Chain A
């Protein structure tokens, strides 16, 4: 027996193999029709270009479709999904090997390759796939986590996959036993079946069992293939397509412009309003539930569930008698206005989605419709926007002007300093909310200490429009954007530093849509840069333990997690104590998306949930980098702290304390 001759007889016991080929035709047709139906649906969507920069897109496919880097973020499902995925990939390759060898007559299923790959490796991956199915089944039928969707379809798919894998091993085992395959040991698990069968079955019995099981296996496989595009298994194709066509810019650049010249409805309230990419999003969903599991609103038992928004829209889009022109708003709980008004636009859903679905932008689309076409939205949000419209800021009732915070600091305005290197954008949160004024004061004092030539706009500053855009008044946002861009260009501003991540995001990611291009730094980034350049040094480290709360619009929306931590490190000579949910998995303060202007029910407050997470750490201080986080967390901690004393401080305040120790009396 020469190992180089090693192979096996393909089909061995099976006759009338033409039946298989014949069956392949309807199988393929049915499957193809299933795919075609979806593609046809996607093509109904509005246009959108998602095919630029193909190399980057292929890179996404490798990372997220092939290596499934996001799926891995949850260990248990990550493991079993990988086992199933790679199990089937290897089994599919093995089938291709057979095809090449047998059907094309190219003898590749030979020798070492046959033994090591086609027998051993395939066997191992087959078993891994079975383990994967069992793990998935254990989650679905035993632990039953809340975030999962429980459908008969999912159960049947698992059963079918399990049956396909098991029948495969039976077929292999009985073939090995009945043919006394000399290489049987290279297929250890098939061999196990063979060894178990030998004492129990005659060769004839094994032969006929092989025959019957082979055909059964075939029917299962073909059935599964034909059915798959009609089930969530479509995700194999749709998710890959979705990942290829994913957004390449940071999450913060996701929101689209609205065409105000169009006669169509502003915002989206029917399926017809969506682009093909949105429609693809619905079909790409694997029902994994991670978006809902990480949704802060959902965590505090609100109605909002990004998963159900996507799935309900998917169901409506797939309804054979459904009408794309029919409003979806209010059709289900998930698609109700109430749910849409609970979103903080924190993007935890988008970040968590393994297949690059963009959930929260669809919520903003629906809000746009509600605000601009129906004028129906929460009262206090209306007041914030009315204030924005008439006063250029959303902080209705503030007793401060734009310049009150500067008192006693000698802060240069653009009128005084024509050639400033940096514009400090104070923001409404910084200028008009008392608590945040000390943050801006700390920032400008740090800049002075570092010798930076900066200026502020003073009374010329206006809200950049973030709340308007997130609440859904794109019309107002555009006005504000254009006004601000004109102001900034008038003063020849090139570089902006702001202590508000919302302002930061709007300048960095959204103003370019309107022709405003500026170099933008979040103050943590700019201060970290000054420290790196040796222009600022922490003199006396604070003896406090500090945790850092990632602002959504700095972290997830823009991928900056390190600069603020660096400032904590410099201020305390220690890395921050991390909360359980941190960095890209951070939990929103509850204040984004206009939510800081509405009151949540007392028992369903996102900020209190985050405050509890802060209190779980040993930290004395929770550092923030956002005026909204500041007020939301202070409020949440006051409500939940009990006897604990935890202060909320901006990273600039922390740094200013070490750079310039406060006089002993204050």
Chain B
């Protein structure tokens, strides 16, 4: 019972996140000396099952007409069903919303322990240890999961993919679970669109512009950059006051107080009132021509350059690496 399983969502494709989950699971299996089972749920997808087989020792493709589209209850039942057969010691999932939704419940059904948002997963004797940020990122905790299996959802894209060296392709097996839809949960409609109503306060990524931009036009360039990385736009008070962007974009003591994972301040000097709006940002970085600008005092890293020369190429590089 030292096997490791990981869950992949067939319709997501073999994206960076899936590669990250596979990589993390592979390394854990290698460390525990167990086999790696990849469980792919959903309509057959060669990319995913093939990609998984390149890393895992065994791939279980779980397909069923009822799994054509994601439904939490059915997916959970299917997944639990397969896991019960594999009896892995640890099950890794990604950090997409569906995986997060399933993880704890899966642990419960299997009698195991769950932990999420892991930046590191390791085995320590009988316990699986998970390292994760707590207290809003102010502290880091290592959590020991006492019950088996350990169900862990990881920060998938932060995980290195598995190295492809010298591994024979794993077996791929189709599993068709018995599923009876009790109809308690029905998906009425599903909408793929930019999420409306996400408040700047809740944004994970923010690109923000300031007085140094000199006018409304440069904000279009910033917007392009924001769109590339899926960030929301914000601005300093000076830029909002000047009417270059709407007042609702304003971050600072008298504007919004934000707490993103990444705050990219472009041509913002960093007056203390502005800093009060970004005190809880995890990583602040800035592009500014003035190396003495106060914003750099709060940055993890920064670039002393004219934004005009930087934003365009930056946008290109980031869209390629996406």
Contacts and interface: CB of A to CB of B under 8 A. Distances in A.
B257 interface: yes
Contacts of A598: 254
Given A433-B272, A435-B272, A635-B273, A397 B253 contact: yes
Nearest to A395: B276
A398 interface: yes
Given A398-B279, A399-B279, A599-B247, A631 B273 contact: yes
A599 B276 contact: no
A396 B241 contact: no
B275 interface: yes
Interface in B264-302: 271-273, 275-280
Contacts of B279: 397-399
A632 to B, nearest CB: 11
Contacts of B49: none
B254 A398 contact: no
Given A398-B279, A399-B275, A399-B279, 7 more contacts: A380-B254, A383-B257, A397-B277, A397-B280, A602-B240, A602-B243, A639-B241
Contacts of A399: 275-276, 279
Question: Which of A399, A435, A635: most chain B CB closer than 10 A?
Answer: A399
B255 interface: yes
B276 A602 contact: no
Contacts of A434: 272
Given A599-B250, A602-B243, A396 B257 contact: yes
12 contacts: A395-B253, A395-B276, A397-B276, A398-B276, A399-B276, A399-B279, A597-B253, A597-B254, A599-B237, A599-B255, A602-B240, A602-B242
Contacts of B237: 599
B248 to A, nearest CB: 11
A465 to B, nearest CB: 20
Question: Which of B242, B247, B254, B257: most chain A CB closer than 10 A?
Answer: B254
A383 B256 CA distance: 10
B235 to A, nearest CB: 13
Interface string A576-600: 0000000000000000000001110
Contacts of A631: 272-273
Interface string A363-404: 000000000000000001001000000000001111100000
Contacts, number: 43
Contacts of A597: 253-254
Interface in A395-423: 395-399
Contacts of B273: 631, 635
Interface of A: 380, 383, 395-399, 433-435, 597-599, 602, 631, 635, 639
A628 B247 CA distance: 23
A396 B247 CA distance: 19
Contacts of A397: 253, 257, 275-280
For the complex of A and B, list the 8 residue pairs with the smallest distance between their C-beta atoms, beginning with the closest: A397-B276, A602-B241, A599-B254, A397-B279, A434-B272, A399-B279, A397-B257, A380-B254
A396 B275 contact: no
Contacts of B247: 599
B276 A396 contact: yes
A395 B253 CA distance: 8
B277 to A, nearest CB: 6
Contacts of B241: 602, 639
A599 B253 CA distance: 9
Contacts of A380: 253-255
A397 B255 CA distance: 11
Contacts of A395: 253, 276
Interface in B221-264: 237-238, 240-243, 247, 250, 253-255, 257
Question: Which of A434, A635, A639: most chain B CB closer than 10 A?
Answer: A434
Nearest to B274: A397
A395 B273 CA distance: 10
A29 to B, nearest CB: 59
B272 A396 contact: no
A602 B240 CA distance: 9
Contacts of B280: 397
A383 B201 CA distance: 13
Contacts of A396: 253, 257, 276
Question: Which of B242, B276, B279: most chain A CB closer than 10 A?
Answer: B276
Contacts of B240: 602
Nearest to B276: A397
A498 to B, nearest CB: 21
A380 B251 CA distance: 12
Question: Which of A380, A383, A599: most chain B CB closer than 10 A?
Answer: A599
A398 B277 CA distance: 8
Contacts of B257: 383, 396-397
A471 to B, nearest CB: 14
A435 B272 CA distance: 8
A323 B267 CA distance: 57
A597 B252 CA distance: 10
Contacts of B254: 380, 597-599
A602 B235 CA distance: 15
B199 to A, nearest CB: 12
A399 B253 CA distance: 12
B266 to A, nearest CB: 20
A64 B238 CA distance: 46
Nearest to B247: A599
Nearest to B243: A602
